[in-house]
Amino acid sequence: MKLANSYLGLLISVAAMVAVRGAASLHAQAPAESPADMVREAVKNEISASNNDPKFMFRERKQTPHGSQTKLIVETKEATAGILVAIDDKPLTAQQRQGEEARLTALANNPEERKKKQKAEREDANRTMRMVKALPDAFLYEFDGTEPAKPGIGNLGDELVRLKFRPNPSYNPPSRTEQVLTGMQGYILIDANKHRIAKIDGTLFKDVGFGWGILGHLDKGGHFLVEQGCVTNGDWDITRMSLSFTGRVLLFKGINIKSEEVLSNFRPAPPNLTFAEAVELLKRESAQLAENPPQRERETPDPK
C-alpha cells in the first residue's frame, strides 16, 4: 500500500489504495461467502499487509499528456528514493544523468528535506488506509462473475471474484477524504485464494463536492484504476495505476489530472537499507542502464 503523489491528496490516496477486464464468467456460481464479507476479509488482509510492507526495487513508467518518464525506485524505511532514467522512452543524456545524481546526493545530505519527504509519504499512506478501511461500509456489492488472475493482477493460478459496487446510501463519510466514495461506482476483483484486492476500477457518476462545495469539486466522469498482484516471493504490490479527473479547488483553481503508471521489474531491496545507501545503489543501477539500455530504448541505427 504505497505510492502517493502530491496532486490533491484524496485523489491520489484513492489511487494508492490497492489497488484488462478479462472474460469474466458471468454464469459462474456465486461463492458461499457474501460479497460484503469477501470485501471485509480482503480489507483486513490489506491492512495487515501494509503493517508488514516489504521493501522493493522496481521500475516505474509514468505516462501523461506531456510525455513519459521512467524511474528506478528503491524503498527504504526512511523514505522512497527514485532516479530518472528515461524521458519519452529515451535514455537520459550524460548531462541529465549528472543532474539527477546531484539532486539525489543533495537530498541524501539534507536530513530536514528527507524528514519532510518521509512525513509526506506517511501522511499519504495514512489517507490511503482510511480509504481502504472505508470500502466495506461505503459501498453495496453484488457478485458479477469470476475470471482468472493475470500477470500483475492477483496471484497467477488463482480465481478472481468480480464484485460490482455502488454507493451505500446509509454511509456517512467521516471526513473529506472519504467523500469521493459517495459518488463512485464500478467493480472490484478479489483474489479468492489469497483474500486480497487485485483490482479496483471506479468512475464518478456524479459531481462530488468537498467542504460544502467551498473547497471544490470533482467532475462527473472521473475515473481511476488500480491493479496489484504477486510480484516476487509471494509478496504483493501495485503494478498499475490510471487516473483521469477534472474539477476545481477553492472554486477557481482547475484540476486536470490524467496519468498512467506501470510498475515492473520488482525485486527485494537489500535489508535495512538507508536512504544514502539507496541513492548510491540507484546511481550504480542508472550507470549500468546507461551503458546497456533495454533494446526498445536504444536508438535505431542510421540506415545510411
In this prediction, residue 149 carries a pLDDT of: 97
Q: What is the average pLDDT across 173-187?
A: 90
In this prediction, residue 295 carries a pLDDT of: 59
Is pTM beyond 0.75 here?
Answer: yes
In this prediction, residue 250 carries a pLDDT of: 74
Instruction: Tell me the torsion sign for CA atoms 291, 297, 303, 304.
Output: negative
Distance of alpha carbon 252 from alpha carbon 183, whole angstroms: 22
In this prediction, residue 248 carries a pLDDT of: 86
Q: What is the average pLDDT across 168-176?
A: 91
223 has a pLDDT exceeding 90: yes
DSSP state of 33: S
In this prediction, residue 84 carries a pLDDT of: 97
Q: What is the average pLDDT across 130-135?
A: 93
What is the phi/psi pair of residue 252, to 5°?
-130, -25
Task: Give the pLDDT confidence of 228-278 residue by residue, as tens digits.
Answer: 999 998 999 999 999 999 998 876 688 899 999 999 999 999 989 999 999
Residue 141 near residue 35 (C-beta atoms within 8 A): yes
In this prediction, residue 21 carries a pLDDT of: 31
Question: 108 CB contacts (<8 Å, ≥6 apart)?
Answer: 114, 275, 276, 279
Instruction: Tell me the torsion sign for CA atoms 258, 69, 228, 48.
Output: negative
Q: Which residues pair with 210 in a beta bridge?
A: 216
In this prediction, residue 30 carries a pLDDT of: 61
What is the grid cell recorded at 222?
472521473
Share of the chain above pLDDT 70, in %: 84
